[in-house]
Amino acid sequence: MSALERALERVLAVRAEFDRTRPSLRLMRPFGIALGVALVAVLIPPHDTSGALIVVLSVIYATILFAFIYSSLSEERTWVAPAAVFLVIPYLALLREAGGGHGSGYEPLFVAPVVWLAITGSKREMYAASLLIAAAILAPVWLIGGPRYPVDDLRLLLVFAVSAFVIGRVVQRIMVRLERETRTARAANERSARLFLDAPHGVAVLDLHGTIVLANGALGAIVGIRGRDMIGQSLAAFSAPGDDSVEAHVTRALESEADSGVSECVLRNDLGQDVHVSLSSRVLRHGDVEEPDILLVNVVDVSEQRRYHDRLAHLVDHDVLTGLANRRLFDLELQRHLERCRRYGPTGAVLLLDLDNFKQVNDSLGHNAGDELLVNIGSVLRRAVRSTDVVARLGGDEFGVIVTDGDQPAAAVVAQNIVDRIREHAATLDGVSRRVTASVGAVTFKAASDHSVDILALADMTMYDAKEAGRNQVALLPEGEARQPRLSARLQWQDRIEAALADDRFELMLQPIMHVETGLVDSAEALLRLRSEDGELVPPGRFVYIAERAGLMPQVDAWVVERSIAMLAEIRRDVPGFCLEVNLSGHSIGDAMVEQTIRDSLARHDVEARALILEITETAAVADVALAREFAMRLAELGCRFALDDFGAGFGSFYYLKHLIFDYVKIDGEFVANVHTSQVDRTILRSIVGIARDLGKETVAEFVSAPEILEVIREEGVDYAQGYLIGRPIPLEEFRQEFLLPRPADAPGALEP
């Protein structure tokens, strides 16, 4: 057992505080020996002491010893302890008598009782002993006198009385201070021992050979055995097989004079499980022989922290819902594979797939059903490719696959296998989920290098070929310089959109919106057009979806917002109550650049925010309802208002009524164009108007192209009308001349909630 371990056991075993009033036999032994030696000295010849006095002295001596032993063994201090000391005083007086009286030389022993009580007794007991000594010296002078006890003993009395008082007080002060310091040291030692043994993390004491000499319970809990059972073993013996990090840490710590630093190591517990720990060590040097140098090692279990960090690292690179790689990891793997292709030649392919009819699942069965389907599709994709291939969810219902090896026929086989498996899986489901299929665009890295176009853009556009060809199929981009006509057209349109942004070739048209009750046109919708190089105005239906696929829509919408608000400021100088509606793409909802453009433009042109009505198309908002709601809430706090466009065109109309923030409901033209001839359309229109009115919202009917339609929507209570009957989209100057007449700011008919 080590010295440190013995010291800890002694500290924890002796619970009682140091009590100087109950001395041990070890402390009593010198006093007993001194008294015994004095008794023996009386017997050394020549002496003329009577035998009876020797017997009395022996009996008193035995009584003193018995009282000493009894008081040391008793649990509490009793009257026996001071009585034994007081008995020493007549014992010394008799010894003095037996030794010849005044010349016997026993006088110095009279100091012993005072010193003893100064060490073990109270101040009162010490003073009492001093008085008894004075009486023991003075009484023979008065009672016997003569040559055996001359009057000179009075001077002896004075010397002994003063000496006993002074020495006793000094000794007692020393003992009180020693007692206090001992109690403090004992408490500190016990705290240190408890800190070691009850520390919440593992602590081990190693000798200079790396062997454990002491281990606490927390360390034992980490490795699954008791701390005492670890003693005598090397700490490295508890490492995971093949892991020498613990041994390296101990070696480094023993060689270093300062802290060894922190090491991440792995221990193996009794169940065979790996436990990740953090080790920090320091050598404690004593410099004496009795206490050798030791190594103190702190062991902290960081397994939970390691699992948490691993989980965070996993979430950074993986989709939370499906567990597949996310867009970030997909892009990293794509760049890594592109580097490989540049070094060793192009091989493999990129597959982009989009689920057909997935929106109907969300609209009809709810987002929980949609999420469950996405998880299942993720599992299908994992099983459809090799373990070396990368499968990722890129967002929504769009997935990507990097086929790391293989030519174009191999890529076509993998893509077709994916389409077939998704179709077969959906066939086992109920309801609208049965109609879910996949459209896949496949582009080999060789084809991408031949076309000198970004492979993701090529795969995305090729995927749209599959959708336009009827869905549930694969579109494969051929290798070589020849491009498919549709792909070439899309790439040309992407270039034209980028050029239009750079050269400011977009234009805005205004289509009037009339207040049905007053007949006044006090608002309009801004509609985007692209001016081609030959002067043709291209409608958004021909290029917006390409801009969305190319990621250009936020830039386009930022341009539209900036120009629309500038136009609105110009109009409101003549018609202060005028409002303008601006469409936002689903790809721009929540985009920080678009939101900041709205804020900056309103402030720069000093336009009241409530004059700007942002149209969110129902079919665009469905991609992320929560994102659309947060976006609307932030801008609503600014004062902007919102219109839910194309209401009724999607499958989740009522879901959006519940979850989206809006002020106006724009009824899809599908239910307006034939409302004067179709009772079904009129019934649907009446229902939408009733629901909007109950919710405190106003309605706008699109596709109002005939007086009969206008009359019907007026009868059904629609608030605003928009369509060719009211006016076609025209440039600002024409709009100003045809519809804008100066009127007071409080004129009726403005789009107010």
Q: Are residues 433 and 519 both part of a single domain?
A: no
pLDDT at res. 287? 57
pLDDT at res. 748? 40
Q: What is the DSSP letter of 192?
A: H
User: What is d(CA 417, CA 431) in angstroms, rounded to the nearest whole number?
Assistant: 24
Q: Does pLDDT of 258 surpass 70? A: no
pLDDT at res. 270? 78
Query: Beta partners for 526?
Result: 510, 582
Angle, CA 165 vertex, CA 160 and CA 170 arms, to 5°: 125
Q: Are residues 299 and 322 both part of a single domain?
A: no
Q: Which two tokens stand for residue 139?
A: 């009484």
Q: Does pLDDT of 752 surpass 70? A: no
pLDDT at res. 19? 60
User: What is d(CA 436, CA 160) in angstroms, rounded to the nearest whole number?
Assistant: 114
Domain span including residue 63: 3-192
User: What is d(CA 140, CA 110) in angstroms, rounded to the nearest whole number?
Assistant: 15
User: What is d(CA 358, CA 364) in angstroms, rounded to the nearest whole number?
Assistant: 10
pLDDT in tens, 321-360: 888 998 888 988 999 999 999 999 899 999 999 898 887 7
pTM of the model: 0.49
Tell me the C-alpha to C-alpha distance, in Å, between residue 583 and each of 290, 549, 728: 87, 18, 17
User: What is d(CA 261, CA 9) in angstroms, rounded to the nearest whole number?
Assistant: 30
Q: Are residues 288 and 329 both part of a single domain?
A: no
Q: What is the average pLDDT value for the chain, to the nearest integer?
A: 80
Q: Are residues 454 and 508 both part of a single domain?
A: no
The residue-averaged pLDDT of 361-375 equals 81
Per residue in 463-500, is it b (16+ CB within 10 Å) or e — as a string? bbbbbeeeebbbbbbebeeebeeebeebbebbebbeeb
The answer to whether 416 and 474 have CB atoms below 8 angstroms apart is: yes
Q: Does pLDDT of 559 surpass 90? A: yes
The answer to whether 287 and 243 have CB atoms below 8 angstroms apart is: no
Sheet with 474-476, side-by-side order of all strands: 390-395, 398-403, 349-356, 437-444, 474-476
Question: Quick one: how many helices (H) and strands (E) in the chain?
Answer: 26, 19
Q: Are residues 476 and 525 both part of a single domain?
A: no
Q: Does pLDDT of 576 surpass 60? A: yes
Angle, CA 512 vertex, CA 510 and CA 517 arms, to 5°: 165
pLDDT in tens, 113-142: 877 777 777 778 777 877 787 777 777 877
Burial of 420 (0-12, 13-18, 19+ CB in 10 A): middle
Task: Report yes or no on 751 lying in a domain.
Answer: no
> When comparing pLDDT for 552 and 586, which is higher?
552
Residue 229 CA neighbour count, 13 Å, CB half: 9
The residue-averaged pLDDT of 651-665 equals 69
Q: Does pLDDT of 751 surpass 60? A: no
Task: Report yes or no on 744 lying in a domain.
Answer: no
pLDDT at res. 704? 94
Q: Are residues 7 and 83 both part of a single domain?
A: yes
Which among 284-288, 356-360, 611-615 has the top mean pLDDT?
Answer: 611-615
Lowest mean per-residue pLDDT among 86-100, 197-211, 544-558, 639-653: 639-653
Q: Are residues 699 and 572 both part of a single domain?
A: yes
User: What is d(CA 229, CA 240) in angstroms, rounded to the nearest whole number?
Assistant: 18
Q: Are residues 465 and 399 both part of a single domain?
A: yes
Q: Are residues 13 and 141 both part of a single domain?
A: yes
Count of structural domains within the chain:
4
Lowest mean per-residue pLDDT among 4-18, 359-373, 707-721, 733-747: 4-18
Task: Report yes or no on 133 lying in a domain.
Answer: yes
Tell me the C-alpha to C-alpha distance, in Å, between residue 612 and each of 385, 632, 667: 50, 13, 19
How far out from the chain centre does Cα 244 lie? Answer: 30
Task: Report yes or no on 274 lying in a domain.
Answer: yes
Q: Which of 251, 285, 308 is the last residue of a domain?
A: 308
The answer to whether 726 and 513 have CB atoms below 8 angstroms apart is: yes
pLDDT in tens, 445-495: 988 887 766 788 788 888 888 887 888 999 888 886 555 555 556 667 777
Q: Are residues 372 and 429 both part of a single domain?
A: yes
> When comparing pLDDT for 45 and 414, which is higher?
414
Residue 707 sits in a domain of what CATH number?
A: 3.20.20.450
pLDDT at res. 348? 92
pLDDT in tens, 678-698: 898 899 899 889 988 988 899
The answer to whether 720 and 523 have CB atoms below 8 angstroms apart is: yes
Nearest to 442, CA basis, from 354, 352, 377: 352
My answer on whether omega of the bond before 46 falls inside 30° of 0, hence cis, is yes
Q: Does pLDDT of 21 surpass 80? A: no
